[in-house]
Amino acid sequence: MVVVTLQRKKCIGCNYCVEVAPAQFQMSKKDGKSVLLHSSEKKGFFTIKTHDDSIYEASYEAKKACPVKIIEVKQL
């Protein structure tokens, strides 16, 4: 299982996550911040949990590319 979490409030809108993992992230036209696609929100944290291990590599690259370190990726 792969768990990806985005702390959206701290996003600076650099677009790196979208460039690296466009299947998981896109930029909001409303506020210019990153959106974690198909996620659920709880207390400012947007999370997806999936058994699709194929998203791990791209999501992990997005985590490494994020300059404000607001993306967390775990493989359980």
State the pLDDT at residue 1.
Answer: 96
With beta carbons less than 8 A apart as the criterion, state whether 11 and 27 touch.
Answer: no
pLDDT digits (tens, 9 = 90+) for 7-38: 999 999 999 999 999 999 999 999 999 999 99
C-alpha distances (whole Å) from 63 to each of 15, 30 are 12, 23
What is the set of domains in the chain, with CATH numbers?
2-75 (3.30.70.20)
**Does residue 59 contact residue 6 with C-beta atoms inside 8 Å?**
no
Identify the pLDDT of residue 2: 97
- Give, as one character, the DSSP assignment of residue 63: H
pTM: 0.94
CA angle (17, 23, 24) in 5-degree steps: 55
Rounded to whole angstroms, the Cα distance separating 19 from 22 reads: 6
Q: Determine phi and psi for 49, rounding to 5 degrees.
A: -125, 125
- 44-67 confidence digits (pLDDT tens): 999 999 999 999 999 999 999 999
